[in-house]
Amino acid sequence: MPQPKTSDALGECRSVAVTCISEVGWHDTDRVLADIRAAGGSSENQWQKTWDADNAAGSASLVEMVMMDGQIRRILVDCGWNEAYMLQRFAETGVKESLERGEIDLLFLSHEHFDHLWGLQAVLRLCPDITICVPATFSDDALAFILGDRRSPTSSPDAPVIRHTGRLLTTAMGVPTPLYPGCIAVAFNLPILLGVTGEQSLYFRLHDRGTVCVTGCCHQTVTALADYAVANIATEETLYGLYGGLHIAPFGPLTAPQEQMITDMARFGFHKIAPNHCTGPSAIAKMIELGYPIESGSNRPSDTVLGNGARVVFE
Ligand SMILES: [Fe+2]
Ligand SMILES: [Fe+2]
């Protein structure tokens, strides 16, 4: 007899819309790679490195979920890197007003990489008491940064630090953590680049549609993300949607294992895929070649990613 999945208790929601506030981690990849090389390579701790602050941009997305009773929950996924750049992007996407009015229910920090976390002061400037959710693997440096007890390596040394006054939630590793009915966080425990450990992702269970996965960088790999959903979240054998950075060949051509992973994605049967950020052009080209249902809309040179200001709706 088939075992009941934990998903039975996770509830459902009606729809999910994701607005790309910014998927541009930095302006010049050669400069960020030079910064990493200069400080000893990608295994060195990001908090101990010197970074070119002028090169910083940042990754952040706004999730708006409509619950079964019609209420809306808004989740800010990550908060970018450069504070001035993020304030501008928040203003250009309407997120500034939402933060000021206290309409964002949660800041969900996928992982502590510089381009997803170090723009936090831009959020706290607009809403210091926002509830923040982090994976349990966040480092002491990252937690001290959230609390306002330390600056990032690219923070201005003179700017006043705004302290976080809201709740700080921690997601345990490897178990579905319900956030709202039909919205679940799962943290994956793995070492990733620059001394960072762990990344968490969001899963939404859409009534009559299926499961939508939302990622920051997806360092755990897209197949690990989707396999987890099939085993623990979804009631269907296939998945409905996918949004976010997939960390596949962000800087160059596909390797053979990366190409195989993209081919392997077919078994999840996604109806709508909106990749951006660290999903490299070669990876997106391969997905298009395989006929995957890619959502685009962009102001980037390539129009094959869901770029800054673009929105995808799963309903
Ligand atoms: Fe990233
Ligand atoms: Fe990352």
Residue ranges of the domains in the chain? 11-314
Distance 217 CA to ligand 2 centre (A): 5
- What ranges make up the beta strands (E) of 139-176? 168-171
Q: What is the mean pLDDT of residues 65-84?
A: 98
The band of 303, judged by pLDDT with boundaries at 50, 70 and 90, is: low
% of residues, the chain, pLDDT over 70:
95
Is the Cβ–Cβ distance between 46 and 113 less than 8 Å?
A: yes
Among 71, 39, 35, CA closest to 53: 35
Q: Which CATH number is 11-314 given?
A: 3.60.15.10
Distance 314 CA to ligand 2 centre (A): 24
Per-residue pLDDT reduced to its tens digit, 250-288: 998 999 999 999 999 999 999 999 999 999 999 999 999
Higher-confidence residue of 302 and 77: namely 77
First-residue to last-residue Cα distance in the chain? 32
Tokens of 109: 């920090």
Distance 60 CA to ligand 2 centre (A): 12
- What b/e sequence results for 267-297 when a residue is b if at least 16 CB atoms lie within 10 Å of its CB, and e otherwise? ebebebbbbbbbbbbbbbbbbeeeebebbbb
Distance 115 CA to ligand 1 centre (A): 6
Distance 209 CA to ligand 2 centre (A): 29
Distance 199 CA to ligand 1 centre (A): 11
Average pLDDT, the chain: 94
Distance 285 CA to ligand 2 centre (A): 21
Calpha distance 109→117 (Å, rounded): 7
Entry pTM: 0.96
Starting from the CA of residue 25, give the closest ligand: 1
Starting from the CA of residue 32, give the closest ligand: 1
Starting from the CA of residue 24, give the closest ligand: 1
Starting from the CA of residue 115, give the closest ligand: 1
